[in-house]
Copies of this chain bind each other. A is one copy, B any other.
Amino acid sequence: MIVVMQHGATRENAERVAQLIREMGLKDHIIEGTHRFVIAAIGDDRFLDKGAIENVEGVERIVPILAPYKVASKEVQAEPSLVPLGGRRGGVVGGPKVAVIAGPCSVESREQILEVASAVSEAGAVALRGGAFKPRTSPYQFQGLGEKGLEYLAEARERTGLAIVTEVMSIEQVDVVARYADVFQIGTRNMHNFNLLCACGEAGKPVLLKRGWSATLEEFLLAAEYIIHAGNKQVILCERGIRTFETYVRNTLALGVIPAIKRESHLPIVVDPSQGTGHAYMVPAMCRAAIAAGADGLIIEVHPDPQHALTDGAQSITPQVLHQTIAEVEKIAAAVGRSL
C-alpha cells in the first residue's frame, strides 16, 4: 500500500504511519516529495485492513497496490481455466468453443420446460437454464416451483442431454439443487452473500457466478475467490449488466469487463444479454457483441410464449429468434477464431 499524506503534514505524522505499518508486519519506506510525504508499505498487505491508518493525523488517503484477490488471479494461474458443464453434450466453458446456455427464466410447468429444452437443444445450446427457486423483488410474485421444478429440469436433461444450470438462493437449497443440477447459478442479488458462496464452494459443482448489479470488478473477483477458497475452482463468471442512470434498459451491459477479466483472471466469462438489457429486441445484437468482445459463452432467456411468461417475459426471446441468433453468433465466433 501507499499512504499519501496531506499537504502540510509533518514528518512526525509520517513516522506515526510508518510505525503502524511496522506493527502490521510490513516494511515502511518514507518518501519525502517536493510537496508532501508518501509512505510505501512493502510486503503482502492484501489481507490486512488498511483503512484504520486513515485516522492518523495528516493522512490524506490510502492507495492499495496489490489486488485483494489471489487464487482468482493470473498471478496464481496464467493459463485459462476450463469448466466442463456436465450433461451429454460435453460443453466446456473457457476453451475455443463458445458455449450457449439457454432456457426460460423460470420453470413454469413440465410441458413448458420440456418444450423449451427440446427447442434450445435443436438450436445448438449445450445447457439448459431455468429457475426452480426464484429470487423475486416482491413477496407476492411467483416464487418458483421448487423441487418439482428441479425434477422437470432433470427430466429435460434425460431427454436432451443438455446440462442443467439452475439458481440456488440459500444454503438450505444447496443439497436439493445438487441432487438435480449440473451447474449452480448464483444470482446477481447473492453475489455478496458470502455464506452462500462458501456453501456452493464446498458443494463441488461448477458455479456460474453472476456479477452483482453494482459490483466492481474487484468485488466480482473476490466473490469468485470465496468459492475457490472454499475448495472449488470451477467458477464461471457472468456479466449481466450493471445499474446506472440509464432508463431505456433494465441494466447497462458492460462488455468492457470481458477484456478486463481476461487480463486479470484465468476464469472464463459468459454474458447474459437478457438480464443485461431487459428487452427481447436487444438480445440478438448483444449476443453478437459479447462474442465479438471475447466472451466464452452466453446465457439467454428463451420462452415458447413470452406474452404469457410468468417471469421476465419482456426480455425473453422465442425459440425461433434463438435459432436465428445462434446462426448469427456462429458467424461472429468464426470471425474471432472460435466456433460453437
Contact = CB atoms under 8 A, between A and B. Distances in A.
A243 B260 contact: no
Contacts of A15: none
B171 A170 contact: yes
A53 interface: yes
A256 B52 CA distance: 20
Contact of A253 (B135, B229, B255): B255
Contacts of A139: 194, 198, 222, 225-226, 229-230
B47 A138 contact: yes
Contacts of A31: 29, 40, 42
Given A52-B308, A55-B306, A245-B245, A172 B171 contact: yes
A219 interface: yes
A97 interface: no
Given A139-B226, A252-B242, A288-B336, A213 B214 contact: yes
A286 B256 contact: yes
Contacts of A248: 216-217, 256-257, 260
A205 interface: no
Interface in A130-166: 135-142
Given A243-B245, A244-B254, 19 more contacts: A7-B75, A31-B40, A33-B40, A49-B309, A51-B314, A53-B313, A55-B314, A137-B218, A139-B222, A169-B194, A189-B192, A214-B245, A245-B245, A249-B254, A255-B289, A285-B292, A286-B293, A288-B336, A289-B289
A85 to B, nearest CB: 24
Contacts of A46: 140
22 contacts: A7-B74, A20-B307, A35-B66, A47-B138, A49-B310, A49-B313, A51-B313, A54-B279, A55-B280, A55-B314, A135-B194, A139-B229, A214-B214, A242-B244, A249-B254, A255-B289, A289-B289, A291-B292, A292-B293, A292-B332, A331-B336, A332-B336
Say which size band chain A's interface belongs to.
35 or more
Nearest to A8: B75
Interface in A261-281: 263, 276-277, 279-281
Contacts of A42: 31, 33-34
A38 B31 CA distance: 12
Nearest to A189: B192
A12 interface: no
Interface in A50-67: 51-56, 62-63, 65-66
B2 A38 contact: yes
The 7 closest A-B CB pairs, nearest first, are A52-B313, A51-B314, A189-B192, A292-B292, A47-B140, A214-B214, A331-B335
A222 B137 CA distance: 7
A292 B248 CA distance: 20
Contacts of A214: 213-214, 243, 245
Contacts of A242: 244-246, 252
A4 interface: yes
A49 B311 contact: yes
A68 B219 CA distance: 29
